[in-house]
Amino acid sequence: QLVNDAIAAMGYQPNELARSLKVASTNSVGLAISAISNPYFTDIICAVEAECARLGLMVFLSDTQEDPDRELQVVRAFHQRRVDGVILAPSGSPERAIAYLADKKLPCVLID
């Protein structure tokens, strides 16, 4: 009880990044969309975010701008941030990004 009282008195907030190192999970998902400006993706983004929120997951959203180089850069950035998985609306040439995901064994779902 003394520890809990001290935690409350100090306003301690757990460091989620440090916790993620211990449990090897960040409770986050990377969502890479090939063209956020396309109205088609609005409902998809909203649905993914709502379901992830329900599951207690944070969503990192990025626009790959239909550019395979940017797509690979985004996928790598998600991996470096230790997301638990990637949802990818691929560009017209997603081979390098998909190969990267497969090589790193990062769970991925393709949409569109």
Q: Is residue 84 a part of any domain in this protein? A: yes
Q: Which residues of the chain have pLDDT under 70?
A: 14-24
The C-alpha angle 77, 23, 47, rounded to 5 degrees, equals 55
Q: Is residue 11 a part of any domain in this protein? A: no
Which residues, including other chains, have CB under 8 Å from residue 78's CB and lie 6 or more apart? 30, 32, 60, 62, 86, 106
pLDDT digits (tens, 9 = 90+) for 23-49: 567 899 999 999 988 999 999 999 999
Q: Is residue 54 a part of any domain in this protein? A: yes
Q: Is residue 58 a part of any domain in this protein? A: yes
pTM: 0.80
First-to-final CA distance of the chain: 52
Q: Are 31 and 63 in contact (CB under 8 A)?
A: no
Cα 87 to the center of its chain, rounded Å: 8
Domain that holds residue 29: 24-110
